Amino acid sequence: MRSIKHGLRAVIMLVPLFLAACGTPIPKYQPTPDEKVTSVKLFGWGEPYMCRMGKLYELTVQEENGTRRTTLPTGARVGLVNFITVQGYQVVSRCTARASVIPRDGINLIVNGVLPEAGKCGLDVVREDASKETGVSMEPSLGGPAC
C-alpha cells in the first residue's frame, strides 16, 4: 500500500510537467549560414523531426515533382524521429519511429517511414549510391541513441 501512495504522489507531481511540455511548440530546424547540411529524400509515412543535442526540432519539408526533401546538419550524430498516424476503418494507429545517423558532406540519405504494424513502426535509412544496381547502399553510421 505504501508503494502505491508513493507512485500516486510521483504521478501527481509529474502531471504539470507533462502538461507544460504539451503546450510548448517544437522549434523548426533552421541551419545557420555557415553550417554544412546534406539532402535527405523522404518516402513513406509520417512527419519528420530531428533530435540534436537533446532537443527536438521539426524538419522543414519541401516537395517538388512528388519528391519530399529536407536537410540535416553534417558531422555529428542526429536522431531522426517520425510521428506516424494512420486512420483506417474504425481504427487509428499511432506510433513513433526512431533512428540515428551521422550525416556527412556529399552523402545524400533516403529515409522511409514504415507503416505501423501490430503497434510497431520503423524508419529505413539508406544512402544514395550510383555505383550500386539498386541506386542505394546501407548507411554505416546508422545506430546509436536516437534521442
pLDDT of res. 88: 73
Q: Between these two residues, 90 and 134, which has the higher pLDDT value?
A: 134
> pTM for the full model?
0.75
pLDDT of res. 42: 94
Residue 6 has pLDDT above 70, yes or no: no
Residue 13 has pLDDT above 80, yes or no: no
DSSP string of the chain?
Answer: -HHHHHHHHHHHHHHHHHHHHHTSPPPBP---TT--EEEEEEEESSEEEEEETTEEEEPP-EEETTEEEEEEESSS-EEEEEEEEEEETTEEEEEEEEEEE---TT--EEEEEEEEETTEEEEEEEEE-TTSTTSEEE-TT--S---
Q: What is the pLDDT of residues 24-63, one digit of tens each?
A: 789 999 999 999 999 999 998 888 999 998 899 999 999 9
Q: What is the pLDDT of residues 80-129, one digit of tens each?
A: 998 877 777 777 777 788 899 999 998 999 999 887 666 678 888 999 99
